[in-house]
Amino acid sequence: MKLKFDYNNMMASAVGAHGVKPSEIDKAAALHTAAYKEVIDNSGKGWQEWTETPMISDEQIAELSAFGKSIRDKASSFVVLGIGGSALGPISVCNALLHLHHNELPEKQRKAPKLYVEDNIDPERMAALFDVIDVKTTYFNVITKSGETSETLSQFLILYNALKKAVGEAAAKEHIFVTTTIGKGSLYAVAQKEGFKIFGIPGGVGGRFSVLSNVGLVPFAVMGIDISGLLYGARAMREACERPDVRSNPALMTAFLQVKSMKDGKNVSVMMPYADGLRTMSDFYCQIWAESLGKAVNKKGKTVNCGQTPAKSLGVTDQHSQVQLYTEGPFDKVVTFIGVETFGDSVEIPAAETAEIGDFLKGHTLNELINAERKATEFALTKAGRSNYTILLPHVDAETVGELLMYFMYVTAFAGAYLGIDTFNQPGVEEGKKATFAMIGRAGYEQKLAEVNAAIKSDDYIIC
Ligand code: PA5
């Protein structure tokens, strides 16, 4: 494992009354064992098939890479249609591993098509997409685990229609490939009928745990991302997360500290990477943490209404926006810093030509400054008694990103196990999906429509 985890600032020795005492970690030995067993004993089973996603063979990787190259060589743009877990993995990894201004790079330098991950159905965004892509040379990956999500299906219908008009029916089929559950859902049925290439998603891999399945790997292959490195990193982290001792297992330790903090009233989990490339890792984290742990009942059916609200923050940008609150506001947060030791580029700060600025920045680099600011913020928060911990990446590359993703998945699974809830369902999301079907007039949802229509809305509380 290349990542380093520093929990010092979660401890009472650093943050006083709001911290955790070493004895509290030791006293919870039975809880650690139970949480560990629940996750590890179920590895690869039921909804925990995600633990196996990094284990694909070299042949499978070679096949995916060859497919990706065949698209990369002919596409001017590559569009991913998906939402939630079917979009955030591709977004976070591509953001981390591609050039930060990938789409704006001159074609010769870009080495891969322009990338658009369309995870919303704002009509203006759809119209804007048509303004920047040439449909004739654009390829589309439609991703939906259920094959039923209204947002993704509507996007698919719009784009397939546009494609047919632009290149004709036969050629249009070559521009679309789908990633979905084999044998299930509307998208699979359409893909079979139309003859689109289909990539499967294993039955026991849920959306937010699917980044290392074909959901992520197909887009990564198209974009020329190092899949082998990503999976290698994920496997290294899997090994670390299978260590039975809480003090050497980063995911088990994080889960325990977060759940304990949550129970002590720290209801907000702030994810604060100090690297623009990792900005959307916070989106990935926010989804997996919120959707997995925000649950009404525990596995015994008892009402618990648990969960910790995840919040996104970017270092150093949000030091000038959020950190005042983190330092002096309510003691309701745990801040996770993500630091990068060595950046891909080094930018020196030139000597000031004006005496007014002075020379305190002279001879330093932005690299030194960003890391000094992260450490300074860690210090300030700790001094103010605010719980925080740091994940340190030696650098951002496929391996370390693979490690980080796997860590997020294991932390979430262990946290759910400590809480005694079903980590892998999302009844709250499903309810909204069903209500959408009802309101849009899908057959079979008439009763739901009646329920939606019966929801009382009083004019007394509307201001216009
Ligand atoms: O994590 C999840 O299960 C959800 O966020 C889904 O990914 C999201 O609702 C999209 O579902 P689907 O992939 O079935 O279109």
Cα–Cα distance measured from residue 220 to residue 85, given in angstroms and rounded to the nearest whole number:
15
Domain count, the chain: 2
Q: Would 458 be classed as within a structural domain?
A: no
**Strand 268-273 and strand 114-118: pairing?**
unpaired
Q: Which residues contact 351 (CB under 8 A, 6 or more apart)?
A: 359, 362, 363
Q: Relative to the CA of 215, which ligand 1 atom is closest?
A: 13
Q: Which residue out of 291, 378, 399, 403 is catalytically annotated?
A: 291
Q: Which residue out of 99, 197, 375, 433 is catalytically annotated?
A: 433
More confident residue, 263 or 457: 263
Residue finishing a domain among 229, 255, 283: 229
pLDDT (0 to 100) of residue 326: 98
Q: What is the CATH number of the domain that holds 268?
A: 3.40.50.10490
- Which of 50, 80, 91, 149 for mutating ligand 1's site (highest number of atoms within 8 Å of CB)? 149
Residue 355 has pLDDT above 70, yes or no: no
CB-based pocket (< 6 A), ligand 1: 83-86, 144-146, 149, 152, 206-208, 291, 426, 429
Q: Which residue out of 101, 108, 320, 457 is catalytically annotated?
A: 320
Do 28 and 50 lie in one domain? The reply is: no
**% the chain with pLDDT above 90:** 91
Do 75 and 204 lie in one domain? The reply is: yes
State the residue for tokens 């891909």. Answer: 344
- Which of 145, 186, 213 for mutating ligand 1's site (highest number of atoms within 8 Å of CB)? 145
320 catalytic residue (yes or no): yes
433 catalytic residue (yes or no): yes
Q: Would 438 be classed as within a structural domain?
A: no
Q: How far apart are the first and last CA of the chain?
A: 57
Do 119 and 137 lie in one domain? The reply is: yes
Centre of ligand 1 from the C-alpha of residue 50, in Å: 14
Residue 368, token pair as written in the block = 């030194």
Residue 111 has pLDDT above 70, yes or no: yes
Do 225 and 110 lie in one domain? The reply is: yes
Q: Would 51 be classed as within a structural domain?
A: yes
This model's pTM is above 0.85: yes
Strand pairing partners for 393? 340
Residue finishing a domain among 183, 201, 229: 229
Q: Relative to the CA of 85, which ligand 1 atom is closest?
A: 7
DSSP-assigned letters across all residues of 221-270: HHTT--HHHHHHHHHHHHHHHT-SSTTT-HHHHHHHHHHHHHHTT--EEE
Do 75 and 219 lie in one domain? The reply is: yes
Do 62 and 199 lie in one domain? The reply is: yes
Q: Would 459 be classed as within a structural domain?
A: no
Do 80 and 11 lie in one domain? The reply is: no
pLDDT digits (tens, 9 = 90+) for 66-108: 999 999 999 999 999 999 999 999 999 999 999 999 999 999 9
373 catalytic residue (yes or no): no
Cα–Cα distance measured from residue 436 to residue 371, given in angstroms and rounded to the nearest whole number:
46
Cα–Cα distance measured from residue 45 to residue 353, given in angstroms and rounded to the nearest whole number:
64
| H or E segment to which residue 431 belongs | helix 427-439
Residue 326, token pair as written in the block = 């983190």
- Amino acid identity of 103? N
* Owning domain of residue 372: 4-42+244-419
Q: Averaged over 204-232, what is the pLDDT?
A: 98
Do 314 and 414 lie in one domain? The reply is: yes
Q: Which residues contact 198 (CB under 8 A, 6 or more apart)?
A: 177, 178, 179, 180, 182, 188, 191, 192
Residue 442, token pair as written in the block = 């899908």
Centre of ligand 1 from the C-alpha of residue 209, in Å: 10
Centre of ligand 1 from the C-alpha of residue 79, in Å: 18
Q: Would 453 be classed as within a structural domain?
A: no
pLDDT digits (tens, 9 = 90+) for 411-439: 999 999 999 999 999 998 888 888 998 99
Centre of ligand 1 from the C-alpha of residue 160, in Å: 21
Q: Averaged over 279-303, what is the pLDDT?
A: 97
Q: How many CA atoms lie within 13 A of 439 on its CB side?
A: 11
Q: Would 179 be classed as within a structural domain?
A: yes
Do 50 and 38 lie in one domain? The reply is: no
Q: Would 361 be classed as within a structural domain?
A: yes
Do 69 and 16 lie in one domain? The reply is: no
- The answer to whether 266 touches 387, Cβ cutoff 8 Å, is yes
Q: Would 446 be classed as within a structural domain?
A: no
Do 108 and 222 lie in one domain? The reply is: yes
DSSP-assigned letters across all residues of 37-97: HHHHHTTTSGGGGGGGGGG--HHHHHHHHHHHHHHHTT-SEEEEE--GGGTHHHHHHHHHH
The three-class DSSP label of residue 304 is strand
Q: Relative to the CA of 180, which ligand 1 atom is closest?
A: 13
Centre of ligand 1 from the C-alpha of residue 51, in Å: 18
- The answer to whether 215 touches 90, Cβ cutoff 8 Å, is yes
Do 65 and 206 lie in one domain? The reply is: yes
Q: Relative to the CA of 151, which ligand 1 atom is closest?
A: 15
Phi then psi for residue 100, to 5 deg, are -65, -25
Give the residue from 421, 385, 382 showing the smallest Cα distance to 264: 385
- Which of 47, 50, 80, 86 for mutating ligand 1's site (highest number of atoms within 8 Å of CB)? 86
Q: Relative to the CA of 146, which ligand 1 atom is closest?
A: 14
